[in-house]
Structure formats: structure tokens, C-alpha cells
Amino acid sequence: MAADPSRIAAARLVLAELGVTLDDLRHETEPRRIPTFDAYVPKVRTAASPGTLRTYGSYWDRIVEAWGERRLDEIAASDVEGLQRAIVAASTPRRNARGGRHAGESLIAAARAIYRRAAADKLIPLSDSPAHQVVKPRRLPNVRRALTGRELEEINRVARMGGYDVVLDSLLLRLHTETACRRGGALGLRLVDLDVSRGLVRLTEKGGTQRWQPITLELARHLDTCARQRGASAPVDKLLRFRDGRPLTSRRYDALWKRIGEVLPWVAAHGVSAHWLRHTTLTWVERHFGYGVARAYAGHTDSVGPATTTYIKADVQAVATALAAMTGKPHPLAGPIASLPRYMAPSTVQRL
């Protein structure tokens, strides 16, 4: 029986008023094709930022290995929990290990990232995500603390005692002590990020944030000399380099702290790392210069916390003044020496 043309015209008029096309209706009635993890995770990788890829990449590999041929909608919360426990049990013991707790948390976060992307692609509602139905392990209190002057002196002394590259190790410790930078910030430094005459390095850290951080002129000269002697010449060449000219990698940190821990048992026992130097410097700055300067020194730009954080700000001159006070060395951007508080013990910032 042929459809009544007048009814068809009336239906089209109603759809036009609703802003709906026949193609829209066709797509709604067609079943959605949910991809497998083998097919979809590569797309998630392509859309991920470099930082996200570093954090979740290995866990996405484990997810594909476990569920590769299964569709996104074929996974239950119990599957996520099972894989989480398997990864915790197989986690590699490290100096700062906490029973695989971090690995389990990261697995759940990595799975959630996949389902958030799938929800954004309108493949599956976020409410149907099995990863979001699993409770992430509660983070344990941070065990890092500020090092004492004596502890910092011991670490620097051992770093200069031997090893494959004493110059590089000494530069690393001093860079982290003076700037309180994160490991990623140090590894990302390029020749163009060093201003020798003004004693500044441009740090690029979490979230792609950038800041010019004061360093002593002595450290600036050493960094420039070492980089050029080891082959850095173009502005985009990495600043920190091995003796053979290769750019520094994160594995150097592991080797450095392992070597120091073999001489200083307390370093190995407590899992001391470069991030402890960040705690040490920022604690000292906060005690002597207040929260606002410490916040700027750390490169924190978030607005989470009391409303007053919006108004508590410090400029690069205030940070340079704190650096000069801490190291006992003048800085071209620092305030008058007479206005500085007492200095940190000179032995805590070692000469190269």
C-alpha cells in the first residue's frame, strides 16, 4: 500500500520544525558499533598528551593485552578489579614502593581515561563505564620531607665521591636544590632556556606551564659550559647531556640515587629522590619568605584552596631574593642584601 503523499509532506514539515533529518533518525535506529580495545586504544593514544601517554601508556598496553579482542561494552567492574589486583601483585619492587598501591591506582585511572574518551566520541555513556564503578585506592600520606642541612651536605659529598659522571651528578643536585624543579622540568631544559647573564632558566613542567626561575650565576655558567662541551650548539639542543653527548634521560636519576643509597643507607631506606630536594627548598623558602613566595618558587598556578590564593602572588624578583638568601650568593634580580633574612648554612649548597 503506497504512503499518502500528503502525510509524508506533513511528516517532513514536523521534522523540519524539530530540526531533525531523516539521516538523524536512521542513525538513531541503527545499532552502535562498539569497537574492541585493540581497535580503540590506538585512537586514545593519538589523542593523549605526551604527559598522559607517559603516565598511562604502559597501563594501556596491559589493558590491550588482557582485553584486546573484547568490546568496550563487554567489560564489567569485576574485570577491572581483577586486572587491577593482577597488576598490583606483579608490580616491580622499587625504593619508594608502597605495595603496588600506586600501580593499582594508575590502572584504574588509565581505564577511566579510555572510557572518558569513548564517552566523548559518543560510543558509550560515561555512566556505563565499568572503570568508574571501581573505587580507586585511597592515596597514603606522602612520606617525603625536607632534608636537614647535614643530610643535604652528605648527599652532595657522596655524589662528588665517584661514579660515571661526577660533573653531571653535581649539576643535577644543585639544579634541583636551587630551583626546586621537578624531574621533567630539568629533563626538558634546552640551550635556549638558559639565560646566563641574568641567572635564569625557563622551566616547562606539569600542564605545560612555563616560568623563568632564578639560579645563581655560578650554576648558570657551569650549565652553559657543560652543555656546550658536550655538543649542545643549536638553541633547541638539550641542556643536560651525558659525556658522550646524548641528552639526559630519567634513568640517570635512578642510577644516581642508587649509588648514593649504597653509601648512605638512610637514603635507600627512606627512598630519597630528587623530589625530596624540592620539599627541602620550598620548606626553607616558606619558613623565611612566606607562603606567597614559596608558591611562586614552586611554580604553582592552580587556584584550588582559600580565595586568598588569588591575591597571594610573588614575582621573579621575590624568588631571586629568596634564592640569594638561601645560597648566600648575590643575584642580579634580587633585592638589597641588607633586607635578606639569615642565610641557609653554606654547606648545604655545594660547589661543583
Please report the pLDDT score of residue 303 as a whole number: 57
Question: Residue 94 pLDDT > 90, yes or no?
Answer: no
Residues 177 and 319 in one domain: yes
Residues 305 and 255 in one domain: yes
Hey, which residues does 203 pair with through a beta bridge? Answer: 211
268 or 342, which is more confident: 268
Domain boundary among 133, 165, 181: 133
Percent of residues, the chain, with pLDDT higher than 70: 83
User: What SS3 class is residue 36?
Assistant: strand
Question: Residue 321 pLDDT > 60, yes or no?
Answer: yes
d(CA 194, CA 47): 31
pTM of the predicted model over 0.85: no
Residues 171 and 255 in one domain: yes
Residues 119 and 201 in one domain: no
Q: Is 262 contained in some domain?
A: yes
Domain count across the chain: 2
Q: Is 26 contained in some domain?
A: no
Question: Residue 147 pLDDT > 80, yes or no?
Answer: yes
Question: Residue 142 pLDDT > 50, yes or no?
Answer: yes
Please report the pLDDT score of residue 6 as a whole number: 75
d(CA 188, CA 203): 8
Radius of gyration over every alpha carbon of the chain, rounded to an integer in angstroms: 27
Question: Residue 205 pLDDT > 90, yes or no?
Answer: no
**Beta strand pairing call for 200-204 and 194-195:** antiparallel
d(CA 215, CA 297): 11
**Host domain of residue 128:** 37-133
How many other CB atoms are there within 10 angstroms of residue 274's CB atom? Answer: 19
Please report the pLDDT score of residue 346 as a whole number: 41
Residues 162 and 291 in one domain: yes
Q: Is 1 contained in some domain?
A: no
Residues 187 and 305 in one domain: yes
Give the range with max mean pLDDT: 2-11, 132-141, 255-264, 336-345. 255-264
What does the pLDDT look like over 171-189, one tens digit per residue? 999 999 999 999 999 999 9
Residue appearing with cell numbers 625536607: 146
Mean pLDDT across the chain: 85
Residues 216 and 295 in one domain: yes
CB 107 within 8 A of CB 57: no
Q: Is 140 contained in some domain?
A: no
DSSP string, 283-352: HHHHHHH-HHHHHHHHT-----S-GGGGT----HHHHHHHHHHHHT---TTS--GGG--PPPPGGGS---
Length of the chain as a residue count? 352
Residues 63 and 95 in one domain: yes
CATH of the domain at 212: 1.10.443.10
The mean pLDDT of 2-21, rounded to a whole number, is 72
